Amino acid sequence: MRTSTLVPVVAGLIAVAAVAIAAGPTYSALTAGADLVVGAGGTGDGPAAGSSGPIDLVTIDDRDIATPSNGSAAFVPLAPDDRYEPGRTFRLGVGVADNDPDVAAAITVAVVPVDSAGTGQVGASPNATPQLLVTVVDTTTGEVLIGSSATDARRGAPVAEASGMIGHLAARDADPLDDGDRWSRGAAQSRHDLEVLVYRPDGPAAREPTGARSDVALMLYGIGQP
């Protein structure tokens, strides 16, 4: 998985996130998927009015180890070796928290291709990305952020439409965590936990050609709330 360069879809999502957050609490999700991203344009180089710019987040893995985003988008790898077997659901649990001691955040949540072309292609392997269905559930609140069912991965959203938002994370109100630190609790409501499900439907189209892979990752991006 390569994440050194923001591919156009990712840059677009970041730009839309700033617009959505500046629009106020009634704009709670990025519901138009890739069409909205393309229509918004921009690269997310500056904060929208009413926001305070990018916020440092921290992701927490199943060992309670923290990885800060350092004020940029955080990318969490998904399936090992980028393989999603037909008829099976890949599951991942991950925490996300505001790592800024003083500023609250709203969070863009998306599953995005992270190859340089933005298609999910892995080398010369057949591309499984168009077949994947994504569900993301905020297990802290019970809200389905992406997809239409918390329990049925077959009702997930295509990768091209796999984006949503956490409307508010409280400021950490404690010293920031560094890379590799063990998670330590901050302020109430400064952390949410997510469950990510990626389902690849079974059938002739999924079985042939064999060896299909997909270079996608969970992306989390925070914008400060005034």
- Residue 87 CB neighbours (<10 A): 11
Residue 52's pLDDT is: 64
Cα end-to-end span (Å), the chain: 34
Q: What is the pTM of this model?
A: 0.81
Beta bridge partners of 219: 75, 110
pLDDT digits (tens, 9 = 90+) for 84-116: 999 999 999 999 999 999 999 999 999 999 988
In-domain check, residue 18: yes
In-domain check, residue 3: no
Structural domain total, the chain: 1
Q: Give CA–CA dist 150/195, Å, rounded.
A: 9
User: Which segments in the chain show pLDDT lower than 70?
Assistant: 1-52
In-domain check, residue 199: yes
In-domain check, residue 137: yes
Burial of 50 (0-12, 13-18, 19+ CB in 10 A): middle
Residue 203's pLDDT is: 84
Residue 26's pLDDT is: 33
Residue 30's pLDDT is: 36
In-domain check, residue 68: yes
Residue 8's pLDDT is: 53
pLDDT digits (tens, 9 = 90+) for 146-171: 999 999 999 999 999 999 999 999 99
In-domain check, residue 214: yes
Give the list of residues 6+ apart from residue 113 with CB closer than 8 angstroms, or none: 7, 9, 119, 120, 121, 129, 159, 214, 215, 216
HSE of 20, CA atoms in CB hemisphere, 13 A? 30
Q: Quick one: how far is CA 48 from the chain centroid?
A: 20
In-domain check, residue 170: yes
Residue 71's pLDDT is: 81
In-domain check, residue 2: no
Domain limits at 104?
Answer: 8-225
Residue 41's pLDDT is: 31
